[in-house]
Amino acid sequence: FQLGPRPMLQAVSSLIFGNEPSKMDIEVEKVLEAFIDVQDDIERSNKIKDRANDYFKNQHYDMAIELYTAAIDAAPSAVLYGNRSMAYLKKELYGSALNDADNALAIDNNYIKGYYRRATANMALGRFKKALKDYEIAKKHAPNDKDALAKFTECSKIVKRINFEKAIAGDDKKKSVVTTLNLNEMEVESSYDGPHLGDEITREFIDLMIEHFKTQKKIHRKYAFKILIEIRKWFMAQPTLVDISVPDGNKFTICGDVHGQFYDLVNIFDLNGAPSEKNPYLFNGDFVDRGSFSVETIFTMFAYKLLLPNHFFMSRGNHESDVMNKMYGFEGEVKNKYSAQMCELFTELFNYLPLCHLINQKVFVCHGGLFKQEGVTLDDIRKTDRVRQPPDEGIMCDLLWSDPYSLNGRAPSKRGVGCQFGPDVSEKWCKDNGVDYVVRSHEVKVEGWEEHHNGRVYTVFSAPNYCDQMGNKGAFITIKGDNLTPRFTSFSEVPHPTVPPMAYASSLFGFM
């Protein structure tokens, strides 16, 4: 009881449920034990905060969050809530970050970082007008702060652009970027030393393209646009839920988030074999953003999809969206390597990506997870209109954003969209829909994968040492057509050129 409510609850839970404490739980308790004899609540809170700051600086955000929580339990303050909000932002838990920013400002409405934290979380969730209000307040509080002015100015531009686009949209559907392109007019200069694309994608072209990418060179924009135009046609014809049939004895591989880590993507093919008719793959969303080789990653995947349309599959993730691409680097990277026009085409064709896949009628694969609403069926999913930017509610939102958690029932998502769903939800949904288990991605895991809900849900994440800082392994799942039991292969990161993650991200994510 001297340690405070968090270790006490962990101890009670262990006694009642027989739960083994995790390594992090043990580490948290060791930190807190060092301050048992500190009687003054504020002094104890400050000492715990200092240790939390150390973990934060070393990018151990989960530990930092636990310790900030313990410090808040001892003596809450605006700074503590602000610091924990920042840690939640690093974990992309925008709902929790918003709540903590609100708590910080409720304690001290002059706490400038609280407005920055709240604005950043709202930006990530596409709530630009709310973010703008907070940037404006921050600018007023710090009129001589150049960073405050820059963030306010950039956010203002985004809001004005959105308002302008709405004003000119009218009732007519916006014309496709494809209608503005004329590939015949795009000359391939004699100085171009990359692979040349003929009428169709060939394996030789893909192999040469990958080697070209490894040397940090681009394919010619004519060939890049040709790939995008062709892949758009393919995805336009796909359903929202794609059925996959894996014959008895045949292997099938499922990968999770890659996030622009091109060199790790290539390593997956080195470890598990290149995609082929005998070696099919499904990549489960979040192909781009954060990693600074997203262009190379997405063109490699699209090329394989064109080569092997019935043996290479791609599900949309929450990062295949306009808002995320603007914030987390993909738009900036495409503009840097190609053009704003190509950004528009990517935004358009990402809307056509399928939301989920069903393997042999038994394995359901989506990026996020299950549903806030009870009773959603496979047929409901099939009928869902996916050709749009992700909404804040509904089936499409949940498929892209939701997460499993350990308690029964449903709870609001720490991300600010989607929901958290418990073991009873997974059990019922799988039984009602005749599904053995759900494979999803969306979360970093230490070994690259994790089992949830007594085997009804599995997470797979395929970006090792995520953002060059998380220290996690990546993983992929293999199954057989006549044996759907998942097998997991974990792997470590491989070297890549010294371009840091988020190199092309919005300056609005220069956190304060």
Q: Please write down the HEC assignment for all residues of 122-160.
A: HHHCCCHHHHHHHHHHHHHHCCCCHHHHHHHHHHHHHHH
Is residue 509 very low, low, confident or very high in pLDDT (cuts 50, 70, 90)?
low
pLDDT of 370 strictly over 70: yes
Q: Specify the pLDDT at position 287.
A: 98
Dist. CA 235–CA 225, nearest whole Å: 15
pLDDT of 82 strictly over 90: yes
Q: Which residue has the tokens 């797979």?
A: 460
pLDDT of 171 strictly over 60: no
Q: Specify the pLDDT at position 173.
A: 63
Average pLDDT rounded to a whole number, residues 271-277: 98
Which sequence positions are flagged as catalytic?
Answer: 319
Q: Specify the pLDDT at position 161.
A: 80
Is residue 23 very low, low, confident or very high in pLDDT (cuts 50, 70, 90)?
confident
pLDDT of 34 strictly over 80: yes
Q: Specify the pLDDT at position 20.
A: 56
- Per-residue pLDDT of 435-467, as tens digits, reads 999 999 999 999 999 999 999 999 999 999 999
- Per-residue pLDDT of 96-146, as tens digits, reads 999 999 999 999 999 999 999 999 899 888 888 999 999 999 888 888 888
Residue pair 401/417 in contact by the 8 Å Cβ criterion: yes
Residue pair 222/253 in contact by the 8 Å Cβ criterion: no
- Per-residue pLDDT of 46-72, as tens digits, reads 999 999 999 999 888 999 999 999 999
Q: CA 410, 411, 413: angle at the middle one, nearest 5?
A: 125
Residue pair 457/441 in contact by the 8 Å Cβ criterion: no
Q: Which residue has the tokens 């029932």?
A: 409
In terms of pLDDT, which residue wins out, 166 or 49? 49
In terms of pLDDT, which residue wins out, 13 or 221? 221
Assign 23 to helix, strand or coil: helix
Is residue 506 very low, low, confident or very high in pLDDT (cuts 50, 70, 90)?
confident
Q: Tell me the one-letter amino acid at 149.
A: L
**Residues in the chain, how many?**
512
Q: Specify the pLDDT at position 5.
A: 47
- Range 117-123 contact pairs with CB under 8 angstroms and sequence separation of 24 or more: 117/82, 117/85, 117/86, 117/89, 118/85, 119/151, 119/155, 120/89, 120/508, 120/509, 120/511, 121/85, 121/89, 121/94, 121/95, 121/97, 121/416, 122/94, 122/98, 123/155, 123/327, 123/506, 123/508, 123/509
3-state secondary structure 196-261: CCCCCCCHHHHHHHHHHHHCCCCCCHHHHHHHHHHHHHHHHCCCCEEEECCCCCCEEEEECECCCC
Q: Is the C-alpha dihedral spanning 94, 99, 102, 104 positive or negative?
A: negative
- The side-by-side arrangement of strands in the sheet containing 403-404 is 403-404, 419-421, 410-412
Q: Where are the domains of the chain?
A: 5-167, 199-497
Percent pLDDT > 90 in the chain is: 80
Is residue 154 very low, low, confident or very high in pLDDT (cuts 50, 70, 90)?
confident
Architecture of domain 199-497: 4-Layer Sandwich (3.60)
Query: Which secondary structure element, helix H or strand E, spans residue 83, and what is its range?
Result: helix 78-90
The DSSP 8-state label assigned to residue 412 in this structure reads: E
Average pLDDT rounded to a whole number, residues 256-284: 98
pLDDT of 12 strictly over 90: no
Average pLDDT rounded to a whole number, residues 269-273: 98
Q: What is the pTM of this model?
A: 0.90
Assign 121 to helix, strand or coil: helix
Please give the CATH superfamily to which domain 5-167 belongs.
Answer: Tetratricopeptide repeat domain (1.25.40.10)
- Per-residue pLDDT of 389-430, as tens digits, reads 999 999 999 999 999 999 999 999 999 999 999 999 999 999
Is residue 163 very low, low, confident or very high in pLDDT (cuts 50, 70, 90)?
confident
